[in-house]
Structures are given as structure tokens and as C-alpha cells.
């Protein structure tokens, strides 16, 4: 029997109550939100539950929403996959824009280690308890977090190339 | 502060002080890479060695990081395809097609059967070249140069087919939303048929050179083995995972582009060692050849692209002669096309694993966020664990058998 969305939703709301919310089918992905401080508990439950068996972390990344309310400016997105039932889900956890921090899941899914380092490197999200939270693709001396929306892609002092004529601005809004 | 946050040479210096060999010999630090000819790309690993054995390793990545995700946030959709080319450049058509399919999922574009079959052919050709390079280079790293020279000319043959289809060879920038930019010429099919006649002969010969080769077996069996459990925890996908015995393949799990119409098996290994990875790739090449033959035999008639004037560039003659086409051309090139506000995830089976695209749009001309799930980036973090306790020369063999492509690793 295939794993139904309602089963997932019922089991999660029964166990976590208010911490999980906003369940919906987005295209071919079943999506919901969880509070940032429940992320390890929810993911551990999804991974180890006999019925749900979301044992594979496909990907984990961050999205920046600078215009949202302060406590919802960064979304940490987890894509989980159950290979037994061939079911994908997406979980979003929103964190504070001033001091973004969330617990690490590298101990639950070892592959999250570098993904979290990447999120730290590009967005400055602090993953509490991560064994080796340092920059991964950028150089260690860098002080900014380049994937944040306020970080301009191109040097604003450049005069040889005027993007206004091509319908682009240096900051994509 | 955790020791892991220290630069590796400082961390190793501590260990070298603490660990003493009974015979008085000392541990040493070796900098493997970043530009070592045997690593095939910019990979740096700082190793702590006891003689020839590796005790600790720390990879440093990002030497060719080009900020593709940032650039993608500032470019219209058509300008993002060339970025995908440069990720896994050994099989760029797969990346291109994966990107188009993500967009088609977002925009709800229905692709005609013929275009889907043509895509399958080109993706399988790309898989063949990807595996061909990986396996023949693995041969070179174990000291067998001949096999590489035998099969490498066939990559050239495949590139001639690409050239006939889209005009480019390595970084192909192939296709459009909804199909291909032009129909395949008879020449393309001719080249394809010649390839299908000649290549299996050479590939059989290549296999015979390696599969029962004493030296090759000694160098690869039980080298860099990883268990299925560990491989899944580390997020392995693609041939590396299948070599460990897990039959996960995106083409089967979530069929895209009509893969469900074709009959093929998913080869799996047992031990997840270097030899199994080699054999799984070999077997996949045979499956790819079979899929291409099936697609050619079953090729339906019909258009080579979907009828979506909002997203598909009109023919150039019309742009010069009719007003409508000129307007559409202008709008598409400038990115002024209707885009829904949505989030989609689409993944394809790339040359080395599940290549995923997570696209967030806000209705503007550029993606709000585009995340690439790069298989290499995720499984390369298992490398230190896989080479721990191995010989230095094994580390080279393991790296090349994992098919880590620097362009994809660093994006």
C-alpha cells in the first residue's frame, strides 16, 4: 500500500502537534513546515518510523526571504525520499534573519555535513552542534555571505558594463 | 573549539606529536593536489601518512567555484543552460535536458513523444561518454593506457553527433523549453547508426582487456569498498550506490522523458569496491546502447518541439518577416515570459548520480532561487572515510573510480 499524504500528516500532527503545520501537495512534492527547534526530532522520527521510513536525505539548502518578517527570513529546506514507497517530501523550517541558527542534522544524516557547511558558507546559517562548521567553497578569509539577496552579484563600481539597458539590476528584486 | 576547525596541518601536527611508532619512524603530512596530474581536476587532499598508509585526510574543495547558483538568480532561464553545461562537463546534455524538464514541469509544458525519445537518445549518449571516460581513466590510473586510447576516439564520435544536433561539442547548451532547437538531420542519424555499429565492438574489447586482468583485479578488488548502509547515509546515488548493491535509479523510480517505454535493467554490484563500480559502469554502457537502439526502433513521427510560442523561440525567417514572431522573439530573449509563482524539484539520472534542480520562482524574469543537487558534492564527503587505511596509490584509484567531476563538485 502506498504511503498516503494523510498518513504522514496524521502521524506527524499526533506526535508533534503545533510544531508541524501547513501541509499541502505542491506539484509532485508533499510539503509542510516545521518549527526550527523541532527539526532534529521530526527528521529523526521520519527516518526511524517503521511506517514512514524517510531514510534518504536528497538535499538540504537555504532560501533567503529578506522581505519577510524577521523570524521567517531564512528557510532551511530538507528534501527527504522514501525509496521503499518511492515518495518524496519537502520540509521547510524558517529561522530568524538577524541570527539564523538551527540544530544540525549531520548526526542523523551524515550527508548533511557538507550541505550544512555550504549553507553556512553562503547564508551564514549557524548549525548548532555541527562538527566542522567552516567555509567550504569560499575561502576562509571571506567575511560576507554571498548568496544573501543583499549581496550584489557584480561590482557596483563597474563602468564598462551597464546592465540597466538589458533589463537587469545588480540586485535581483 | 573542535579540532576539526583547525587548518589540517595544525591538527595533524598535534597528532604527529601524540602518535609515536614503536620503531621510531615518524608520521608525515602530504599535500595531494590541488593540481596533481593523477587527480584529474582540482582536488586537494591534505593527508596524514604513516609511510605509505593514509591515516587521516581532509579534502579542500572550491578551487573552481563559479557561483552558479548566484549567477542563476540574475539570469533569465535561457541563459542558465550554459551554466548547467559546466557542471558535469563529461555529460552536459543530461544537465541541459534536466534543466529543460525542470522548467517544463514549472510551466506545465507537454513535450511531444518524438522530442522525448530524441532526448532519451542524447542523454544515453552522454551517459556512455561519461562512463567511458571514468572507466578508461581508471584504467590509466592503474597503469593500463591502451584501453583508454581504444575507446577515447568514440567520445569524439559522440561529440560529432552532438555537433550535428546542436552545433557544439563539449559544453553543448542543447535544446529549448519543449524540445530541440531544430530537427535532427539525416546526417545525425547516420552518425548515430555508425556509432552503434562500431562502438559495441570496441567496448567489448575494452571490457576484455580489464575484467579478468590480473593486475587490474589486484589493484581494484577490495579497494575503497563502502557498504550499502554507509553509502545511503552519505547520500550516494548513481553507479557508486548501485555498486554497493542498492538498485536506486531515478530513471526507474521517477521516470521522465518516457523512460518507462524502454526495457532496461539496473545493474548492481555487491561489495561497493572500485572493481564493482567499474563493472556497474560497464554494464550501464551496454544498457544505454540498448536503450538508444530501442528508441531508434520505436521513434514516433511528430514534431520535435512543443507548440509553446510563449517560451519556444520562433524560426529565424519568421522573426525577420512577421511582427508576431519578432515580438515573441524579443520577449523570450529578454525574459519577459509569463512565469508562475511556484517551487518545483526535478531530478534526472546524471552520469554520476541524481542530478536535481530545485527552482523557486517569484513571477519575475529570473529564478528567485535555484539550487543544484550535485551528486558529486554530496558523495565526495565520504572520500576521507573511504581512503582511510588505504595506500596512497589506492587513494588515486578510488578517486577516479568515484567519478568526481571538479566542475560539478564546486559548481
- Residues B340, B392, single domain; the answer is yes
* Residue A151: closest C-alpha in chain B: B70
CB atoms within 10 A of CB A159: 6
Q: Does B342 touch chain A (CB under 8 A)?
A: yes
Closest-CA residue to B15 (of B2, B24, B28): B28
Question: Which candidate from B344, B345, B360 shows the least CB-CB separation from A63?
Answer: B360
Residue B273 sits at the vertex; the CA angle it makes with B270 and B279, to the nearest 5 degrees, is 70
Q: What is the pLDDT of residue B6?
A: 85
Chain center to CA of B316: 33
Whether residue A155 has pLDDT greater than 80: no
Strand order in the sheet with A20-26: A20-26, A29-34, A87-95, A74-82, A56-64
CB atoms within 10 A of CB A108: 17
Print the domain residue range for B75. Answer: 68-410
Q: Which of B41, B60, B79 is the last residue of a domain?
A: B60
- List chain B residues with CB under 8 Å of A142: none
Beta carbon pairs, A and B, within 8 Å: 103
Q: What is the pLDDT of residue A172?
A: 44
- Residues B76, B36, single domain; the answer is no
Question: A17 to chain B, minimum CA–CA distance in Å?
Answer: 26
Cβ distance B356 to A134 less than 8 Å, yes or no, reads no
Q: Is the peptide bond before B34 cis (omega within 30 degrees of 0)?
A: yes
Q: Does A134 touch chain B (CB under 8 A)?
A: yes
* Global pTM value: 0.92
Pairwise CA distance, residues A91 & A81, whole Å: 11
Q: Does B1 touch chain A (CB under 8 A)?
A: no
- Could you say which DSSP state residue A72 is in? G
- Residues B84, B144, single domain; the answer is yes
- Residues B155, B51, single domain; the answer is no
Pairwise CA distance, residues A150 & A170, whole Å: 10
Q: Does B181 touch chain A (CB under 8 A)?
A: no
Query: Mean pLDDT over residues A89-104, rounded?
Result: 93
Between the CA of residue B116 and those of A151, B89, B108, B266, B341, what are the distances in Å?
39, 22, 15, 21, 26
Cβ distance B369 to A64 less than 8 Å, yes or no, reads yes
Let me know: does B141 contact B41? Beta carbons within 8 Å: no
- Residues B157, B276, single domain; the answer is yes
- Residues B257, B386, single domain; the answer is yes
Between the CA of residue B203 and those of B92, B135, B350, what are the distances in Å?
22, 11, 21
- List chain B residues with CB under 8 Å of A83: 246, 248, 253
Q: The domain that contains B120 carries what CATH number?
A: 1.10.645.10
Pairwise CA distance, residues B227 & B243, whole Å: 9
pLDDT digits (tens, 9 = 90+) for B252-263: 999 999 999 999
Determine the number of helices (DSSP H) and then strands (DSSP E) in chain A. Answer: 3, 7
Question: B255 to chain A, minimum CA–CA distance in Å?
Answer: 12
Q: Which of B60, B82, B102 is the last residue of a domain?
A: B60
A5-147, what's its fold?
Beta Polymerase; domain 2 (3.30.460)
Q: Does A27 touch chain B (CB under 8 A)?
A: yes
- Residues B7, B144, single domain; the answer is no
Let me know: does B93 contact B122? Beta carbons within 8 Å: yes
- Residues B211, B328, single domain; the answer is yes
The number of domains in chain B is 2
Q: Does B327 touch chain A (CB under 8 A)?
A: no
- Residues B28, B108, single domain; the answer is no
* Residue A60: closest C-alpha in chain B: B373
Burial (CB count <10 Å: 0-12, 13-18, 19+), residue B25: exposed
Three-state secondary structure string covering chain B = CCHHHCCHHHHHHHHHHHCCCCCCCCCEEEEECCCCHHHCCCCEEEEEEECCEEEEEEEECCCCCCCHHHHHCCCCHHHCHHHHHCCCHHHHHHHHHHHHHHHHHHHCCCCCHHHHHHHHHHHHHHHHHHHHHHHHHHHHHCCCHHHHHHHHHHHHHHHHHHHHHHCCCCCCCCCECCECCCCCCHHHHHHHHHHHHHHHHHHHHHHHHHHCCHHHHHHHCCCCCCCHHHHHHCCCCCHHHHHCCCCCCHHHHCCCCCHHHCCCCCCCCCCCCHHHHHHHHHHHHHHHHHHHHHHHHHCCCCCCECCCCCCCCCCHHHHHHCHHHHHHHHHHHHCCCCCCEEEEEEEEEECCEEEEEEEEEECCCCCCEEEEECHHHHHHHHHHHHHCCCEHHHHHHHHHHCCCCHHHHHC
Burial pattern B351-375, b for ≥16 Cβ within 10 A else e, equals: bbbbbbbbbbbeeebbbbbbbbbbb
pLDDT digits (tens, 9 = 90+) for A26-83: 888 999 999 999 999 999 999 998 888 899 999 999 999 999 898 999 999 999 999 9
Residue A167 cell numbers, joined: 533589463
Question: A13 to chain B, minimum CA–CA distance in Å?
Answer: 24
Question: Which candidate from A58, A111, A166 shows the least CB-CB separation from B233?
Answer: A111
Strand order in the sheet with B341-350: B341-350, B353-362, B369-373
- Residues B195, B81, single domain; the answer is yes
Q: What is the pLDDT of residue A173?
A: 41
> Would you tell me which residues 86-105 of chain B have a C-beta closer than 8 angstroms to some C-beta of chain A?
105
Q: Does A12 touch chain B (CB under 8 A)?
A: no
Q: What is the pLDDT of residue B15?
A: 83
* Residue B64: closest C-alpha in chain A: A137
3-class secondary-structure state, position A123: helix
Pairwise CA distance, residues B2 & A119, whole Å: 19
Pairwise CA distance, residues B204 & B200, whole Å: 6
Q: What is the pLDDT of residue B20?
A: 73
* Residue A139: closest C-alpha in chain B: B62
- Could you say which DSSP state residue A157 is in? T
- Could you say which DSSP state residue A151 is in? S
> Would you tell me which residues 55-84 of chain A have a C-beta closer than 8 angstroms to some C-beta of chain B?
55-59, 61, 63-64, 77, 79, 83
pLDDT digits (tens, 9 = 90+) for A1-30: 478 888 889 999 999 988 998 899 988 899
Element holding A46 (H helix, E strand): helix A39-48
In DSSP terms, B353 is beta-bridged to B350
Q: Does A157 touch chain B (CB under 8 A)?
A: no
Let me know: does B171 contact B82? Beta carbons within 8 Å: yes
Pairwise CA distance, residues B240 & B403, whole Å: 9
Q: What is the pLDDT of residue B26?
A: 83
Q: What is the pLDDT of residue A161?
A: 62
Low-confidence ranges of chain B (pLDDT < 70): 1
In DSSP terms, B271 is beta-bridged to none
- State the pairing for strand pair B28-32/B353-362: unpaired
The residues spanned by each domain of chain A are 5-147
Element holding A11 (H helix, E strand): helix A5-16
> Would you tell me which residues 42-71 of chain B have a C-beta closer than 8 angstroms to some C-beta of chain A?
61-62, 65, 67, 69-71
Residue B92 cell numbers, joined: 552536459
- List chain A residues with CB under 8 Å of B368: 63
**Cβ-proximal residues to B406 (8 Å cutoff; 6+ apart), any chain:** B41, B42, B43, B63, B64
* Residue B385: closest C-alpha in chain A: A110
Pairwise CA distance, residues B217 & B223, whole Å: 10
- Residues B51, B75, single domain; the answer is no
Whether residue A160 has pLDDT greater than 70: no
Whether residue A168 has pLDDT greater than 60: no
Cβ distance B356 to A146 less than 8 Å, yes or no, reads no
Q: Does A138 touch chain B (CB under 8 A)?
A: yes
- Residues B294, B250, single domain; the answer is yes
Cβ distance A55 to B232 less than 8 Å, yes or no, reads yes
Amino acid at each position: 500500500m502506498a504511503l498516503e499524504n494523510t498518513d504522514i500528516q496524521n502521524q506527524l500532527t499526533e506526535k508533534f502537534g503545533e510544531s508541524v503545520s501547513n501541509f499541502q501537495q505542491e506539484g509532485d512534492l508533499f510539503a509542510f513546515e516545521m518549527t526550527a527547534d523541532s527539526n532534529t526530532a521530526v527528521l529523526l522520527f521520519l527516518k526511524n518510523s517503521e511506517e514512514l521510513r524517510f531514510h534518504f536525505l536528497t538535499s538540504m539548502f537555504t532560501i533567503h526571504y529578506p522581505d519577510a518578517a524577521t523570524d521567517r527570513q531564512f528557510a532551511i529546506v530538507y528534501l527527504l525520499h522514501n525509496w521503499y514507497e518511492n515518495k518524496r517530501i519537502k520540509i521547510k523550517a524558517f529561522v530568524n534573519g538577524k541570527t539564523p541558527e538551527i540544530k544540525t542534522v549531520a548526526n542523523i544524516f551524515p550527508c548533511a555535513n557538507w550541505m550544512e557547511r555550504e549553507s553556512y558558507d553562503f547564508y551564514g546559517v549557524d548549525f548548532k552542534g555541527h562538527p566542522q562548521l567552516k567555509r567550504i567553497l569560499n575561502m576562509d578569509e571571506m567575511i560576507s555571505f554571498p548568496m544573501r539577496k543583499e549581496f550584489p552579484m557584480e561590482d557596483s563600481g563597474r563602468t564598462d558594463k551597464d546592465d540597466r539597458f538589458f533589463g537587469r539590476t545588480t540586485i535581483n528584486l | 573549539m573542535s579540532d576539526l576547525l583547525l587548518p589540517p596541518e595544525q591538527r595533524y601536527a598535534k597528532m604527529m606529536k601524540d602518535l609515536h611508532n614503536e620503531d621510531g619512524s615518524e608520521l608525515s603530512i602530504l599535500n595531494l593536489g590541488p593540481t596533481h596530474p593523477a587527480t584529474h581536476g582540482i582536488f586537494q587532499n591534505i593527508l596524514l601518512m604513516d609511510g605509505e598508509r593514509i591515516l587521516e585526510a581532509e579534502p579542500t574543495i572550491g578551487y573552481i567555484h563559479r557561483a552558479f547558483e548566484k549567477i542563476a538568480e540574475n539570469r533569465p532561464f535561457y541563459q542558465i543552460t550554459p551554466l548547467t553545461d559546466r557542471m558535469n562537463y563529461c555529460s552536459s546534455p543530461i544537465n541541459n535536458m534536466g534543466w529543460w524538464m525542470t522548467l517544463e514541469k514549472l510551466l506545465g509544458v507537454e513535450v511531444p513523444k518524438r522530442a522525448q525519445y530524441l532526448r532519451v537518445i542524447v542523454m544515453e549518449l552522454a551517459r556512455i561518454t561519461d562512463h567511458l571516460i571514468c572507466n578508461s581513466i581508471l584504467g590509466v590510473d592503474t597503469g593500463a593506457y591502451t584501453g583508454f586510447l581504444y575507446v577515447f576516439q568514440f567520445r569524439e564520435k559522440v561529440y560529432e553527433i552532438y555537433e550535428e544536433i546542436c552545433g557544439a561539442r563539449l559544453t553543448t547548451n542543447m535544446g529549448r523549453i519543449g524540445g530541440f532547437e531544430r530537427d535532427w538531420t539525416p546526417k545525425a542519424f547516420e552518425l548515430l547508426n555508425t556509432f552503434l555499429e562500431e562502438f559495441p565492438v570496441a567496448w567489448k574489447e575494452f571490457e576484455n582487456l580489464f575484467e579478468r586482468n590480473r593486475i587490474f583485479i589486484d589493484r581494484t578488488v577490495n579497494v575503497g569498498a563502502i557498504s550499502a548502509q554507509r553509502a545511503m547515509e552519505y547520500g550516494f546515488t548513481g553507479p557508486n550506490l548501485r555498486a554497493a548493491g542498492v538498485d536506486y535509479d531515478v530513471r526507474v523510480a521517477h521516470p521522465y522523458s518516457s523512460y518507462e517505454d524502454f526495457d532496461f535493467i539496473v545493474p548492481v554490484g555487491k561489495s561497493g569496491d572500485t572493481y564493482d563500480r567499474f563493472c556497474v559502469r560497464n554494464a550501464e554502457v551496454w544498457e544505454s546502447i540498448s536503450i538508444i537502439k530501442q528508441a531508434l526502433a520505436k521513434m514516433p513521427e511528430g514534431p520535435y518541439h512543443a507548440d509553446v510560442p510563449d517560451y519556444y523561440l520562433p524560426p529565424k525567417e519568421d522573426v525577420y518577416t512577421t511582427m508576431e514572431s519578432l515580438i515573441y522573439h524579443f520577449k523570450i530573449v529578454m525574459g519577459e515570459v509569463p512565469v508562475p509563482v511556484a517551487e518545483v524539484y526535478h531530478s534526472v539520472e546524471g552520469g554520476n548520480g541524481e542530478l536535481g534542480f530545485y527552482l523557486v520562482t517569484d513571477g519575475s524574469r529570473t529564478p528567485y532561487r535555484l539550487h543544484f543537487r550535485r551528486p558529486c558534492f554530496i558523495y565526495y564527503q565520504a572520500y576521507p572515510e573511504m581512503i582511510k587505511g588505504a595506500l596512497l596509490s589506492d587513494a588515486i584509484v578510488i578517486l577516479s573510480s568515484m567519478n568526481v567531476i571538479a566542475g560539478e563538485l564546486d559548481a
